[in-house]
Amino acid sequence: MGNKVTTAIFPVAGMGTRFLPATKSVPKEIMTLVDRPLIQYAIDEARAAGITEFIFVTSRGKGALEDYFDLAPNLEEELRRKGKDDLLKVLEETNMDSGTIAYVRQHKALGLGHAVWCARRLIGDQPFAVILPDDVIAAEKPCLQQMVEAYQETGGNMVAAMEVAPEKTSSYGILDVVSDEGNLLEVKGMVEKPKVEDTPSNLAVIGRYILAPTVLKNLDEMKKGAGGEIQLTDAIAADLDQGRKVHGYRFAGQRFDCGSKSGFLQATVSYGLARAELRDDLAAYLKSIVPSLD
């Protein structure tokens, strides 16, 4: 039913102030989770879902992020000379083919909706994905791949969804659903950062989206929403009001909020324990210090 999704937008214009002073000179998206930058996890997930065109919405000071995906001939030659083929292979996974990647500047921080709107001319009239690298999702089948497979049956718009504690709903876009059963949720309304007493559910939108190009047309209106920002949630809700379908997808996997220090540390521990070469030493260390945490 749905068209093939081959393009993804990565909004990476944020300043990462919660991670100062680290982000004074290093874009948050290339801060490392174990030994890979956050953005690499997002790229790998996109590739697994069949994405072949990558659009980064950046801002001033993101040059290191752009350089990360470029070739590093001197480094590659040095590794080749030393016979470090395993590291060469790791390096190759970070390279992007010429013409597959584009950068668009967001000159003012006007919200996630505005960041997505900045890429409108590169999207055209096709469905597209949006991936927020701050949301790292550990899953046997990558989250966006799960969604793309479900989208083939539904078309329209689709957002990743997960349950959050009721007192946390004011930090998220929240779904109002027809029924809360199974993985695929039929959405009848969406609200950005509702007050706890006004929330229609505790189903939060997480940073993975598959969107129809009509959402970009809705963003043309530049309506400000919660926090005085142009909210992507509002533009998707407008599609719903215009009679188009929106589905929530309850993904299988564990989400880490790497936009927060606590979430980043939790992800580091979880991903470290998932690595065979690190697991034993890290687990032994954690066991040794747990009694002292009481």
pLDDT digits 0-9 by tens, 158-192:
999 999 988 888 888 889 888 777 889 989 988 88
The answer to whether residue 275 scores a pLDDT higher than 60 is yes
Query: Which residue's structure tokens are 């509702």?
Result: 194
Whether 286 is covered by a domain: the verdict is yes
Task: Give the DSSP H or E segment for 102.
Answer: strand 101-105
Q: Is the domain of 216 the same as that of 95?
A: yes
Q: Is the domain of 294 the same as that of 217?
A: no
Whether 223 is covered by a domain: the verdict is yes
pLDDT tier for residue 220 given thresholds of 50, 70 and 90: confident
Whether 213 is covered by a domain: the verdict is yes
Question: Per the structure, how many domains does the chain have?
Answer: 2
Whether 167 is covered by a domain: the verdict is no
The answer to whether residue 142 scores a pLDDT higher than 60 is yes
Q: Is the domain of 225 the same as that of 275?
A: no
- Average pLDDT, rounded, for the chain: 88
CATH number at residue 214: 3.90.550.10
Q: Where are the beta strands (DSSP E) in the chain?
A: 7-11, 32-33, 36-37, 53-58, 101-105, 128-131, 135-138, 157-163, 173-177, 184-192, 203-211, 246-250, 254-257
The Cα–Cα gap between 97 and 106 comes to: 24
Q: What is the pLDDT of residue 95?
A: 75
Query: Which residue's structure tokens are 């142009």?
Result: 230
Q: Is the domain of 223 the same as that of 79?
A: yes
List the domain range (segments joined by +) for residue 66. 7-159+206-230+238-244
Whether 254 is covered by a domain: the verdict is no
Whether 49 is covered by a domain: the verdict is yes
Q: Is the domain of 14 the same as that of 68?
A: yes
Whether 179 is covered by a domain: the verdict is no
The Cα–Cα gap between 169 and 198 comes to: 10
Q: Is the domain of 12 the same as that of 150?
A: yes
Query: Which residue's structure tokens are 């081959």?
Result: 6
Q: Is the domain of 140 the same as that of 264?
A: no
The answer to whether residue 108 scores a pLDDT higher than 90 is no
Q: What is the pLDDT of residue 2?
A: 53
Query: What is the token pair recorded at 239?
Result: 């599609």
The Cα–Cα gap between 224 and 255 comes to: 28
Q: What is the pLDDT of residue 66?
A: 80
Q: Is the domain of 64 the same as that of 19?
A: yes
Closest CA to 173 of 136, 129, 206: 206
Whether 201 is covered by a domain: the verdict is no
The answer to whether residue 41 scores a pLDDT higher than 60 is yes
Indicate the pTM of the whole model.
0.89
DSSP state of 4: P
pLDDT tier for residue 39 given thresholds of 50, 70 and 90: very high
Q: Is the domain of 279 the same as that of 141?
A: no
Q: Is the domain of 226 the same as that of 270?
A: no
Q: Is the domain of 155 the same as that of 268?
A: no
The Cα–Cα gap between 160 and 28 comes to: 23
Does 241 or 292 have the greater pLDDT score?
241
